[in-house]
Structure 1
């Protein structure tokens, strides 16, 4: 497989009538998925003649999104998903960065798109589907695509809130999906339950594993995540056996006491990434589903979703940190200290750095940010070699496994001590009555602030932390929330919580 459209060609040939994607409204086979993609590709080639250019799509999450992604790829261009729930200001920044991308939408959303699109070219999905496709002409274009061509640009906000467009090529996705499908033994019998939005890189595992292996992917309706028992019933009804969710979604099922009320007999693989998974909630999943495989996957968008993984193979106390494991196949991970020296000893923190085919090309139209994060390997002075500096502080444990500490910008200096806020969060997560928690440093008042949810009061929480941490690490302020705010990706919204301190 050279480019990702080879996946769809292969699966459509082997399994033309097998279900590929299921959403709330329809079931789509691999044969239909390819036909829809060819309609989109033909329309772009015939009416716009774009090549190696950005094409955005503004659609509700559905099977049509997959058809559009593949159609854009067949046409020799690269895609950027824009969710219909994104704030207008964010959409405008994305379009400004991409510089006059082509826009795909549907008739339902055309009026909305016209309000922010300006003079951009736009077409409706329905028009493309009603116009005949020319497979030979599409194939002629697709034959010119090479594996280093760009496949997608996904926008990530990071800690600043300003979107950065991460550029990923075909080769990087193929390298990643080869590792995923081999490691977790995905095949045409795999049934994936998709949680991640399509503008979030966690969705890459679901989408391209399905396309490569002939697996089936269910797009779980978002509303189900607000009602965990219904969520589990949906999974059981549809015989979903593999999930790759953010930890917040897994914790919700536990925190709302749904996990023991509806068993999913088909469940075999529970994978998670995007933020720290607390062992307290993970242990409840493991007790309920002792025969399932649990995988802690780690990686920023800049390295094609995942660069390290740990398949849980032993017991952990609730107050222990779950390891990140080791580097994925064909990827190297190493730690650098503040002076760019290699860190090899256990329990010594260092910034996690990555090299390999997985690396993004940088940030779209943002050379300054690209130069800061994608740098020459300081350990190699003989020839050009790019590494990505993740900004994550990590250490090795005594088994040589990577263990996440926190973001570099979550490491603070407080009362003369260097403190990792992630260590406080791990301790709090183990306490009875704490469902979720997030530590923020109030720079103006020089105070550690903990936001938390759960049936525990401030005195109990403070006392519990004092039994686990030294006094200088105990937060100076506790703020109880009914609901922890989540960002568009379903992760705790640290940017919003930081802004609350400033108000």
Structure 2
């Protein structure tokens, strides 16, 4: 079974049923199926072949979903990139995955003419579609379960983005389990809040398609607008919501969602960061009839554990656990020399590997620390390295450090994270070059030219030297202790 078969089969069963809806309209399963075939024919005419990568530098729309389906139908691999990514980062992703084609929305993204080169062709999405006549239905490539389906680029510790390569089996093992766990049905209406570059969107799209349900795309312009988001939930009669906790906290704290009641929601799922205990208890108490689930897993494994929040958690005094293994995965704790234990995952959702690097074999070591509680549920205890979650996104401080290090006023730099969940903030600790005094606004602008918005620093501190340990490595703990005694420069 391959991912594109979900839409094909739903179109055969219920061609008139709604499939995907954006802010301008929607597509039924029959129309989505036909449009995906039209795009597939255009991609073949453009020279894309099985195994090629197609980089989608686009905004969210029903047509882009059809384009993603088209890439899968010809056996190629789609690589989503949001328009908010600066051209410098897009260029690095292109250099890494070497796509045969870059498809973009010129209305939504900067004109990428300077990306043209002997190995990369850039086309406008609408022009690509119009290059193929309606009604063309090319033969679909018979993808094997372990063939790559898509690549999601995450923050890299070396300063370069890393492409997590996922197979049809990886995605289907998760979506099959999730659809059954949540009892998805054709009448469900799933919201897609996460960008297509974020693995949460895999459930929104393919969970809906597996059930023959509809998915409703939340545009990036509304993603952090609480009143408009609540309006989308109400008008679209959303029944299933999946997001990082910070997005739902925005609705609770600034949109006063709990005053509105659960609307049409029957299930809410959270992943990507910890949900503050006091807030999840408020939500559980306010919405006793809505299922609430806490999912865990890095991009490299998608979701690998699950915990359902019940009335028993109303008296909890410790953070929510991340639950037990799911999707057919075996999730274990591997002891470490310091007495802690690392969460290790093996099973069908573990990635093929990082694009351009040797294939991944065996269990995946998450870098996350964990333990089991008295009920056998896993508890997440943080990381033993410096990777962090900021505003729901995984951030390697090394990538932010690499960007800041290119600023002419910066001699040395370390990036630290303070707080957690929606309160997480990125602090740049800078050793200035002689005669220079880097300012926060200038460094923010510099970050914005190289990094996604969630990686832009929130504060800057200047120091004479970065503390080092006996092995010469940065002593982040000592630096964090020092910063707690001083106020950052937040001047804009």
Short-chain TM bin:
0.7 to 0.9
User: How much has 1:452 moved relative to structure 2?
Assistant: 8.3
- Separation in 2 of the partners of 1:501 and 1:205? 43
User: For residues 60 and 230 of structure 1, what CA distance do their matches in structure 2 show?
Assistant: 18
Give the Cα–Cα distance (whole angstroms) in 1 for the partners of residues 171 and 233 of structure 2. 27
1:310 paired residue number: 307
Partner of residue 434, structure 1: none
Answer yes or no: is the 8 Å Cα contact 2:48–2:100 preserved in 1: no
State the TM-score, normalizing by the size of structure 2: 0.77
Match of 1:404 among 361, 380, 387: 380
Structure 2 residue matching 1:315: 3-state secondary structure: helix
Change (3 A) 1:251 1:454: closer
1:122 aligns with 122
Instruction: Compute the RMSD of aligned alpha carbons.
Output: 3.3
The alpha-carbon distance between structure 1 residues 499 and 63, as it changes in their structure 2 partners (threshold 3 A), is: farther
Checking the alignment, whether the CA contact within 8 Å between 1:333 and 1:352 is kept in structure 2 is yes
What's the counterpart of residue 355 of structure 2? 364
What's the CA shift for 1:316?
A: 4.1
Q: Name stretches of at least 5 consecutive residues in structure 2 with no aligned partner.
A: 398-411, 424-446, 464-488
Deviations 1:132-172 (A, max 9, x none): 26755x22x42x32121110011010566531000111111
Partner of 2:184: 186
Tell me the matched-pair count: 416
Contact 1:244–1:270 (CA<8 Å) still a contact in 2?
A: yes
| Distance change in 2, residues 1:24/1:330 (3 Å) | same
Taking structure 1 as the reference length, the TM-score comes to 0.75
Aligned to 1:496: 457
Q: Which has the higher contact order (CA 8 A, sep 6+)?
A: 2
Q: Shift of residue 44 of structure 1?
A: 1.5
1:132 corresponds in structure 2 to 133
> What do residues 409-464 of structure 1 show as CA deviations (whole Å, max 9, x unaligned)?
259xxxxxxxxx99xx9xxxxxxxxxxxx9x9xxx999x98458999xxxxxxxxx
Aligned ranges 1:279-294 → 2 under 5 Å: 279-294=277-292
Query: Structure 1 493/289 Cα, relative in aligned 2: closer, same or farther at 3 Å?
Result: same
Distance, in Å, in 2 between the alignment partners of 1:20 and 1:387 is 36
2:70 paired residue number: 71
Contact 1:335 1:353 in 2 (8 A): yes
Corresponding position of 2:340: 349
Contact 1:40 1:125 in 2 (8 A): no
Is contact 2:189–2:238 with CA below 8 Å preserved after alignment? yes
Residue 367 of structure 2: aligned partner:
391
> Is the 1:278–1:318 contact (alpha carbons within 8 Å) kept by the matching residues of 2?
no
SS of match in other structure, 1:496? coil
Relative distance call for 1:273 and 1:44 in structure 2 (3 A) is same
1:154 is paired with a residue of what secondary structure? strand
Identify if the C-alpha distance between structure 1 residues 171 and 500 changes in structure 2 by more than 3 Å, giving closer, same or farther. Answer: farther
SS at match of 2:385: helix
